[in-house]
Chains A and B, each alone.
Chain A
Amino acid sequence: MSVIYLMFIAGAVASLLLYKFQKAAAYIGFGIPAAASLYGIWFFFTNLTGTSELVVQFPVMAAKFTLDPLGAFFSLVISLVGFAASIYGIHYAEEYRESVSIGAMGFFFNLFMAFMLMVVSASHVFWFMVFWELMTLASFFLIHFNDSEKTSKATILYMVIAHVGGAAILAGMLLMSSAAGSFYFQDFKGAGVGPVLATVLFLLFFFGFGSKAGVFPIHVWLPEAHPAAPSHVSALMSAVMIKTAIYGIIRTCMWLPLNEWWGIMIIVFGALSALLGVLYALTQHDTKALLAYHSVENIGIILLGCGVGFYGMATGNAILAAAGFIGGLYHVINHATFKGLLFLGAGSVIFRTHTKDMEILGGLGRKMPLTAFAFLIGAMAISALPPLNGFVSEWFTYQSLIQAALGSGVAGTIIFTMAIVALALTGVLAVMCFVKVYSVIFTGTPRDEKIWEHAKESPVLMVAGMFVLVAACVALGLGAPYAASKIIGVTTSITGSGFDAAAGISVKAVSGSVVSPVLITIIFVSMIFVPIIFTMVFKDSTSTMRTTKPWACGAKYSSRMQITASPFTGFLRQTMNWLYRSEVHFEETNGYFGKVKYSSHAKDIWWDIIYVPIIKGFSGLSQMLSVIQNGRMQIYASYVLIMLAVFIILAIFG
């Protein structure tokens, strides 16, 4: 464990030393974390069951790291995506050769990886908080490598929300440690926390970590900050960093005496995040902002699984809890792989086209076939299409929600069933969204010839980085029984008892239902032969294939006729306008026959509902406070005098 951490720190130092040599810095600064992550994948995978400890003596306070199965699982996820992002980064850093120091970028990248790994293994309140904040800081600097006005706004929003969340977590941690009389995590479990304090702690932890995870309604920073970062960093932030928050929720809430309503509350927030995340994703034109909204959605799906887990723990049904957590944790690793993949794919497109706006792309599948294929696999996996990995974890989540609904009262049954419906709706909308993203970027005719002419396949290491994750998506889908049997080991370490999640080539839910991605693939592949046989039987030897322009009712075809991203979701935006409140701008520029400008932008109304009043409140408060701090020297001097007088009076009479 220490070797891996030291490798990342060595990578950071080496990368910083090479700040004058851009090319070498790229190879060393991203090569070392690639090697460290590769070793990490092997190390954390082999240590998924045991517990190991590491104590580092610092002058003031010893740092203690404990790697239990839960921590090892999250470390594995971090290493897996870190590996792909690092080798991708070696070539992707070229994009920044002119503008920034790649050495500095490698420095922060290495530190970011190291701090994430340390967060999930730190087992002391002080060090956990230190690494938590350092992780945020490292990502803050990484976002700033794309320097623009928008970036500054995004990072400030990110920092504010991260700090409010951090403060909530710190308050929770301190309350917890004062109740337990210790700063070490191992003493927290069963610390005898009263029901009122437990509820306060739960709310602090849930919203504190939730702010990092992007749980609705604290999701507003994600679609601002994630697109602003360089793509391989966005991949890490969106795929992995927000997962450390899920780790935090599971870790901290397990210390508390759980209440079943907390589980239901998590389910409700999960369902809301999932639905609203995907609904807002559908309205985006910016590929990366769209992917960031999908992170909100997937965090919601993870919370649905984890919510059942907490519900099961609270009602004393450890098997149900294991069923919930396996869905949640399986989705953690799945979302990490496909979201990482999609961000890397989006990064490749940006690398070659220099635009994030998908409306002016199109037809790139012919120029970048490998990127297109990788993106397609990612899109199918995130839409939970069998036999890829997203399907398996959603299937587990469905099964656990059904079991939870069966074992609860009237309100519980209805909420759990509605969560199932929300998950189904989310699935439909995700399919719609990714049909849109994939096809508008990679298929059809180019909407901007100039961009299309200059586009070509991305460099080899970037493609390699994506295909690492493609392989992971396929392996976690087809190899689901093996993966599930490993993950059930992790969940058993949380809940205390588990069930057999694998049966031969199938994965098995707690109810005994089985599903086999391998079997369905075999059937599907054999069914492919049916149409092929038909075409062979009825073949006519004289037929040849002509290529033509697409048919346009006899008019001359133009690439502007084809559907773009906004009209593809046009019906949806009409239907859902009660939520989107689109602002429509319509102007005729040049008389009756001139061009017409039309634009329609969906708003994230929660910003106006929740954040604007808070911001207004704070600025009002500052206004009021400015009365006592108005910049006049005399007034400040009189404050000092008054204070002095008060102390003298206190000293005499007190």
Chain B
Amino acid sequence: MKSSDILYLIIQVIAIILISPLLDGVKRIMIAKFQSRRGPADIFQTYRDIIKLFKRSETMPECGTWVFRTAPYLMFAIMATVIAVLPIMHSGSALSAAADLFLIVYLFALMRFVFGVASVDSGNPFAGIGGSREQMVALFVEPTIILSSVVVVFPAGGLTNLVEIKNFVSSPQILKVLPVFIFSGVAFLFATYVETGKKPFDVAEAEQEIQEGLLAEYAGKRLALAHGALILKQIAIVGLFITIYIPWPVVGNPFVSLVLFLIKLVVFYYFASFVEGVSTRLRIGDTRLAASGAFALAFISLILFVIGRVG
């Protein structure tokens, strides 16, 4: 294993973790603008919020076991792991054993598992509902994520390592399967947006409806970490989308790659804020309808792939 890859991995994850509150701040200002409110004073508001939370004292529900106590740390670490293994700065083969598509999808499942158990462990009635909804949302988007990404994996020779997928997508060969790629990309983008838990699909941590679900029982540093973990989760899922579907422009310099990645993230957040700012929350049943549409798109991309291979 090359030591430079490990160095890049560390730089990448630290940089993204440190920048993540900034993206949240940008999002808050954008939404405020779209809704004609004033919003936070500047884009650094989320930093101040989180640091303030770290210094506050904590309350803990008396029924919480060690799962509830460690959950914010675990969720933060799981999402940091996903961000660390995404091939943004490092793109050698050394870390490819950790950057597998299915591995990342199941790391999200691990996150969901911890989230769900911690929700019920808190004993809070709202948190339990939030934990349950989180699973349902995953049920709606997971088939789309798997199907649309597998369709991209097929023409790449069935290699599921993200580095290989990225190399394939950025090579000219992708032009041969362009319609497949576009349909699956749109489906994946939709699933990504739902998975980030933004309005109108904000069901698991819905603030006004179920008191932010799991977050309701946390306070102080654990609330800060849980908040951070949820922001990281958004970045991780968007990062997965960017890695697979928007690898251009390909540059050799890892630092330039990181900057480009961050720019793509900001662009995503800009448009996502627009959607979030102008829409109202859907009920969970409507989420299912929307998700079925995305799955249909992914299925079309599969059919296109099959037809393309025959023809």
Interfacial residues, chain A to chain B (CB-CB below 8 A): 363, 365-366, 372, 376, 380, 383-386, 391, 394-395, 398-399, 402-403, 405-406, 410, 413-414, 417, 420-421, 424-425, 427-429, 431-432, 434-436, 438-440, 442-445, 505-506, 509, 511-516, 519-520, 523-524, 527-528, 530-532, 534-535, 538-540, 542-553, 557, 559, 561-563, 567-572, 574-575
Contact = CB atoms under 8 A, between A and B. Distances in A.
A520 B81 contact: yes
Given A429-B139, A547-B62, A562-B120, A383 B113 contact: yes
A523 B76 contact: no
A556 to B, nearest CB: 13
B284 A571 contact: yes
B182 interface: no
A424 B142 contact: yes
Contacts of B131: 435, 439, 563, 568
Nearest to A553: B211
Contact of A531 (B59, B125, B216, B225): B225
A545 B68 CA distance: 14
Interface stretch (B37-45, B50-58, B249-257, B271-279): B50-58
Interface of B: 9, 13-14, 17, 51, 54-63, 65, 67-68, 72-74, 76-78, 80-81, 84-85, 95-98, 100, 102-103, 105-107, 109-110, 112-113, 116-117, 119-125, 127-129, 131-133, 135-136, 138-139, 142-143, 145-147, 150-151, 153-154, 157-161, 164, 211, 216-217, 220-221, 224-225, 228, 284-285, 288, 302-303, 305-306, 309-310
A523 B98 contact: yes
Name B's interface SS. helix
A538 B113 contact: no
Contact of A511 (B63, B84, B97, B159): B159
Nearest to B76: A531
Contact of B120 (A394, A424, A539, A563): A563
A442 B303 CA distance: 45
23 contacts: A376-B117, A386-B106, A399-B160, A402-B158, A410-B306, A413-B305, A417-B150, A424-B105, A424-B146, A511-B158, A514-B97, A515-B102, A515-B103, A520-B81, A520-B85, A534-B228, A539-B221, A547-B59, A548-B59, A550-B125, A562-B123, A568-B128, A571-B132
Contacts of A509: 160
A399 B158 contact: yes
B306 A391 contact: no
A421 B306 contact: no
B76 A569 contact: no
Nearest to B310: A410
A639 B280 CA distance: 82
A435 B63 contact: no
Contacts of B105: 424
Contacts of B211: 551, 553
Nearest to A417: B302
B173 to A, nearest CB: 15
Contact of B62 (A435, A539, A548): A548
A384 B123 CA distance: 26
A563 B74 CA distance: 23
Contact of A568 (B72, B132, B145, B285): B132
Contacts of B119: 439
A431 B137 CA distance: 13
Given A428-B139, A552-B124, A527 B306 contact: no
A542 B121 contact: no
Contacts of B158: 399, 402-403, 406, 511, 513
A414 B150 contact: no
B84 A523 contact: yes
A550 B217 contact: yes
Contacts of B84: 523, 527
B52 to A, nearest CB: 9
Given A398-B102, A435-B116, A562-B128, A527 B13 contact: yes
B125 A414 contact: no
B17 A431 contact: no
Residue among B58, B133, B145 with the most chain A CB within 10 A? B58
Contacts of B145: 424
A609 B284 CA distance: 31
Contact of B98 (A413, A516, A538): A516
A254 to B, nearest CB: 26
A570 B124 contact: no
A551 B63 contact: no
Nearest to B305: A413
A17 B154 CA distance: 63
Contact of A405 (B63, B113, B154, B228): B154
Given A380-B113, A386-B103, A431 B154 contact: no
